[in-house]
């Protein structure tokens, strides 16, 4: 029996459409990943932060540095009257700004910690491209240099949310000055997170991304690599923690649908001696502090207190 020519034409049309959609969709997604939309810090938000600092006798000032690739990064610095000699670097998540972690600064400063809250690249008031740790690793090192020059500290800790947590983990092989870090809802790798995003709307996990949408992801990663010289396959926090002696607390909500909780398990499996995982029932992405605010605060404070320079 002769083959049906219409069936063949439909097959080749569908195949051509799939290939074209994968290529152009990947290019669009790759561009958006490096240029996420982040809200600016509004004047009234900064006035409120400064007013709170003044009311509580907290030294509050702007911080700024320029990176070797020309990006201007900006931050807020807070130094309490009763400073305990330690500092905390607070890093926010994607499509956010320093205000996303600003609430944490209140109880950290209250306990005597000096706090530095930068806007990540291409977020808030900072320039540059978002690279999920590839360039941010050096930014973290430079912010720690800035902190030590401004106010020599006994111990430097860090708390990062989502993307901020990823960047902290990736910095560990090159930044030995942390006494301990906390990362909430971090991804095990850029690729693994991307797989999960494709299946997020239909709640089937990373399977769809690993199969049907894999060409789209590969096209996006190739575009970013050739257009910007950035290999997003190098974004791999799980690999970065191998061999580190820095104590790491991973916090993950059990209802997180943006970065599924198994990401923290994958990271812990790479270095179980240095990594502790705390999972919070009922918490969505980076919402542990909303679901269990007092427990979250006490857990972080104890983690820092238990991992000082003499421990």
- Environment class of 113 (CB within 10 Å of its CB; exposed 0-12, middle 13-18, buried 19+): buried
Mean pLDDT, the chain cut into blocks of 10 residues (311 residues total): 72 91 96 96 96 97 96 98 96 97 98 98 97 98 95 93 98 96 98 90 80 95 97 98 97 96 98 98 97 98 89 52
Sign for the pseudo-dihedral over CA of 298, 103, 141, 166? positive
What pLDDT is attached to residue 310? Answer: 57
Region of residue 132 (left: phi > 0; alpha: psi -120 to 50; beta: else): left
Axis-axis angle for helices 136-150, 163-171 (nearest 10): 80
End-to-end CA distance of the chain: 80
Tell me if 35 sits within 8 A of 122, measured CB to CB.
Answer: yes
Structural domains of the chain in order of their starting residue, each with its CATH number: 1-34+190-234 (no CATH), 41-188+235-305 (3.40.50.1820)
**Between vectors from CA 297 to CA 264 and to CA 178, what angle results, nearest 5°?**
60
Q: Alpha helix (H) ranges present in 35-152?
A: 43-55, 102-110, 136-150
Chain-centre distance of CA 263, in angstroms?
13
Neighbours of 178 (CB within 10 A): 21
Residue 72 is given by DSSP the state: E
What pLDDT is attached to residue 7? Answer: 84
What pLDDT is attached to residue 1? Answer: 44
Say what the pTM is: 0.94
Of 133, 119, 131, the closest CA to residue 227 belongs to 131
Residue 259 is given by DSSP the state: S
Chain-centre distance of CA 124, in angstroms?
14
Tell me if 109 sits within 8 A of 52, measured CB to CB.
Answer: no
Structure tokens at 110: 């209250």
- Radius of gyration for the alpha carbons in the chain, expressed in angstroms and rounded: 21
Structure tokens at 77: 């610095």
What pLDDT is attached to residue 309? Answer: 75
């Amino acid at each position: 029996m002769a083959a049906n020519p219409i069936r063949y034409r439909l097959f080749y049309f569908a195949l051509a459409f799939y290939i074209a959609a994968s290529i152009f969709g990947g290019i669009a997604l790759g561009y958006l990943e490096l240029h996420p939309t982040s809200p600016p810090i509004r004047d009234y938000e900064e006035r409120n932060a400064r007013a709170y600092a003044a009311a509580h006798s907290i030294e509050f000032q702007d911080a700024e540095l320029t990176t070797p690739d020309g990006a201007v990064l900006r931050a807020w610095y807070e130094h309490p009257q009763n400073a305990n000699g330690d500092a905390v670097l607070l890093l926010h998540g994607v499509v956010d700004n320093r205000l996303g972690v600003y609430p944490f600064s209140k109880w950290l400063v209250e306990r005597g910690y000096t706090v530095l809250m930068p806007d990540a690249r291409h977020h808030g008031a900072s320039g540059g491209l978002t690279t999920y740790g590839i360039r941010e690793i050096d930014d973290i090192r430079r912010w720690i240099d800035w902190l030590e020059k401004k106010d020599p500290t006994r111990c430097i800790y860090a708390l990062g949310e989502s993307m901020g947590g990823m960047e902290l983990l990736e910095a560990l092989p090159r930044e030995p000055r942390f006494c301990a870090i906390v990362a909430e809802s971090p991804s095990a790798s850029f690729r693994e997170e991307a797989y999960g995003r494709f299946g997020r709307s239909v709640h089937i996990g990373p399977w769809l991304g690993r199969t049907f949408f894999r060409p789209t992801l590969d096209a996006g990663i190739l575009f970013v690599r050739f257009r910007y010289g950035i290999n997003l396959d190098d974004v791999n926090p799980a690999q970065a923690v191998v061999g580190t002696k820095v104590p790491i607390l991973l916090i993950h909500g059990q209802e997180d649908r943006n970065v599924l909780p198994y990401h923290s398990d994958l990271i812990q499996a790479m270095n179980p001696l240095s990594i502790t995982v705390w999972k919070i029932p009922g918490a969505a992405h980076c919402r542990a502090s909303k679901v269990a605010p007092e427990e979250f605060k006490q857990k972080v404070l104890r983690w820092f207190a238990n991992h000082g320079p003499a421990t």
